[in-house]
Amino acid sequence: MTTTTVIRNVRPMGGPAADVLLDGATISAVVPAGQAAADLPTLVDGKGQLLVPAMVEAHTHFDKTLWATPWRPNSAGPTRNHRISNEQAVLKDFKVPMAERAAPLIEQCIARGSLYFRSHVDAQTAWGIGHVQEMLALRERYKHVIDMQLVSFPQGGLLISPGALELMERSLELGVDVVGGIDPAGIDNDPIRHLEAVFGLAVKFGRGVDIHLHDLGELGRWEIDRIADMTAAHGLEGRVMLSHAYSLGAFPPADLHAMADRLAALRISVMTCAPGYVTVPPVAMLRSRGVNVCSGSDGIRDAWSPMGNGDMLERARLIALRFGWSKDADLAAAFDVVSHGGARALGLAGYGVEAGCQANLVLLDAENMAAAVVECGPRRTVISRGRVVARDGVYTGT
C-alpha cells in the first residue's frame, strides 16, 4: 500500500481530528491528526473541518431541468396529468439543448457535495430516445468525477402511451441501469399490467426497479403491497426502490409496522424528498424497523416546479424540518438518509469515510453532524476519487 496524498486535520463524521491517507482514489488509512508523515504530499489542510462522505442524490430528473436558462414562469395546470402534458409542451422544442442545462446543474450538485446520482430519464414518445442518448453522453462526460445511475422512466404512462415500452427496452439496451415505473393505478389505470411490464423488463434485462408512486391513501397503500408481491415473486429483493410513496405517510400505525417489516424483509428502499404539502413516509419509524430510506431533490428548476438547487445537505435539513427533528441523533439520521441511505439504495460499494472506501469526500465548517445539517454551511472542499473537484461552492473539475 502506498500513500499518494493526505487530507490533514479533519474530523470524520465529527469525531476526533484525523489525517486521512489516500492511495490514489481510495482511502488507505485514517490516523490521529498529526500522525501522517510530514513529507507526504498534502491534498487539503482541513484545519479541523468536518469530513463527511460525498452525498447521494438518489432521485432527480437531470434530463428535464431548465437550469442555467432564463426564468420561466411555471405554466402547468393543477393536476399531475396537466403537469405531464405541460412538461412535454415546454421541453419538446426547448431552445437550449439538454446538455447546456443539465451539465451546469450536475456541476452545481458536485460543488454542493454530491458525487453519486440516480437520474430518471423520461422514455417519452414525444422525444423518443433523445433524452436517453443525451443523458448517456453526459454520464460519459462526467464519469471521471461522479457515479450516475440512470432509470428509464415512463413519465407519460407505460400502457397508455404507445411506444413507451419499446422506448424503455431500447433504453435498457443502450445502457440505462434501472427499470422505472409510475403510478401503476393513477397513470396507466391498470396497475397489475403496469407492474407486470416493469418487472418483466427488470427480469429480462437483469436490472433493478424504481417506481414513482404518488398515488395517495389506500390506493397507494394497496399498490405498495402489490410491488412487494412482485419483488418477492421475481427474486428482486434488495433491488427495488419506492420513490415518493406518499401513501406511507397515511397508514394507521399498526398497519404501518407490518408494512415496514415487509419492506425491510424484501430490502425495498424508500426514497422521499420530504415535501411539505402531502403525506410522506415516516422516516424515523421506517428506519427503526430496518427499512432503508434515501432522498433526492426530485426535479430541479423544471417545468413541474422552479424549486430545487441540488443541495443534498439542504435536503437533509428539509427532512429534519418536515418531521420537527431537533435531537442530535435525529439530525445525524437526516444526514445518514442523504449519504449512507442513498449508498445502500443504489448498491454502492466502498462508500464511507473509512479505510478501503472511495475517496469521495466533503469538507465542511461545522462543529458536528447535527450542526452541519442545521447550518448547511459552505462545502469548503469536495474531493472525488482523491482529487479536489470543487472549492467553496464552485466546481473546478479535476
Q: Per CB under 8 A, does 206 bind a copy of itself?
A: no
- For 357-368, b where at least 16 C-beta lie within 10 A, e where not — what string? bbbbbbbbebeb
Separation CA 219–CA 188 (nearest Å): 13
Size of the site for a copy of itself (CB under 8 A): 33
Residue 58: exposure state from Cβ atoms within 10 A (0-12, 13-18, ≥19)? buried
Q: Per CB under 8 A, does 16 bind a copy of itself?
A: no
Q: Which amino acid is at 60?
A: T
Nearer to a copy of itself, 257 or 322 (CB): 322
In angstroms, what is the C-alpha Rg of the chain? 21
248: helix, strand or coil? helix
- DSSP readout, 13-66? TT-S-EEEEEETTEEEEEEETT-S-TTSPEEEEEEEEEEEEPEEEEEE-GGG--
DSSP single-letter state for residue 179: E
Q: Per CB under 8 A, does 39 bind a copy of itself?
A: no
For a copy of itself, the binding residue among 105, 138, 164, 320 (CB under 8 A) is 320
Q: Per CB under 8 A, does 48 bind a copy of itself?
A: no
Q: Per CB under 8 A, does 305 bind a copy of itself?
A: yes
For a copy of itself, the binding residue among 225, 237, 255, 367 (CB under 8 A) is 367
Nearer to a copy of itself, 194 or 315 (CB): 315
Q: Please count the helices (runs of H) and the strands (runs of E) in the chain.
A: 12, 16
Q: Which of residues 327-346 bind a copy of itself (CB under 8 A)?
A: 327-328, 331
> Pattern of binders to a copy of itself over 87-126, x per CB under 8 A?
----------------------------------------
Q: Per CB under 8 A, does 141 bind a copy of itself?
A: no
Separation CA 338–CA 54 (nearest Å): 9
For a copy of itself, the binding residue among 48, 130, 200, 306 (CB under 8 A) is 306
For a copy of itself, the binding residue among 6, 370, 389, 390 (CB under 8 A) is 370
For a copy of itself, the binding residue among 23, 196, 371, 393 (CB under 8 A) is 371
Separation CA 233–CA 278 (nearest Å): 31
Nearer to a copy of itself, 256 or 357 (CB): 256
Retrieve residue 391's grid coordinates.
Answer: 472549492
CB 335 within 8 A of CB 317: no
Q: Per CB under 8 A, does 278 bind a copy of itself?
A: yes
For a copy of itself, the binding residue among 1, 38, 41, 277 (CB under 8 A) is 277
For a copy of itself, the binding residue among 35, 47, 74, 225 (CB under 8 A) is 74
Interface residues toward a copy of itself, by CB under 8 A:
70-71, 73-74, 76, 274-278, 301, 304-307, 309, 317-318, 320-324, 326-328, 331, 367-368, 370-371, 374-375
